[in-house]
Amino acid sequence: YMNSDGSMRSNEWRLDDTGKIRYLCSWGGAYKSRSAKINGRSYTFNSAAEVTNMQWIVMDGQWKLAKNGKIATGWQTWDNNRYYLNADGTMKANESFTDGGKTYFFRSWGGVYKNCWQTWNGKKYYLHDNGAAYQNEWLK
């Protein structure tokens, strides 16, 4: 993997032409058939240099979730927290989002608020354990 100026890319996560995640090591190659600790997180790589465990990565300055060797999208659960990852793998954060007629509110670090009251744009909401706001429902 090379930069446009011909220099070798290194110490970064990249997607290959098939959408698989690769980590480019300091020498420009990729880890294969081993585990490695990168920026304090543990990763497992198969013989094709694909990440095989589910783990967060920082790619192009954005947190993304590696899952089955690719960038995860849609609803994901990690460490008992729910996240929504956009089509490009970036997570929703500090925003509201409506999916399937349900509204969700996301924390600054990306997880949904759940089982709590949340004030958003001057309105108060109570959130289910999956993060969806109660709408036209009675609280028990």
For 64-91, the pLDDT digits (tens) are: 999 988 999 999 999 999 999 999 999 9
CATH number of residue 17's parent domain: 2.10.270.10
Q: Is residue 42 scored above 70 in pLDDT?
A: yes
The predicted-structure confidence for 85-120, as pLDDT tens digits, reads as follows 999 999 999 999 999 999 999 999 999 999 999 998
**Residue 95 forms part of a structural domain:** yes
**Residue 5 forms part of a structural domain:** no
Q: Is residue 2 scored above 80 in pLDDT?
A: no
Same domain, 79 and 122: yes
User: Which domain range does residue 17 map to?
Assistant: 12-53
Q: Which two tokens stand for residue 130?
A: 């999956």
| Beta bridge partners of residue 74, listed in sequence order | 85
CA atoms of 45 and 55, how far apart (whole Å): 12
CA atoms of 125 and 73, how far apart (whole Å): 26
**Residue 48, φ and ψ in degrees, nearest 5:** -95, 10
Q: Is residue 14 scored above 70 in pLDDT?
A: yes
pTM for the model stands at: 0.80
Q: What angle do CA 37, 46, 59 make, to 5 degrees?
A: 55
Same domain, 113 and 83: yes
Same domain, 83 and 122: yes
**Residue 23 forms part of a structural domain:** yes
Q: Is residue 138 scored above 90 in pLDDT?
A: no
**Residue 12, φ and ψ in degrees, nearest 5:** -155, 160
Same domain, 83 and 43: no
Residue with tokens 């240099």: 49
Indicate the number of domains in the chain. 2
Higher pLDDT residue, 61 or 135? 61
What mean pLDDT comes out for the span 41-52?
Answer: 90
Higher pLDDT residue, 87 or 17? 87
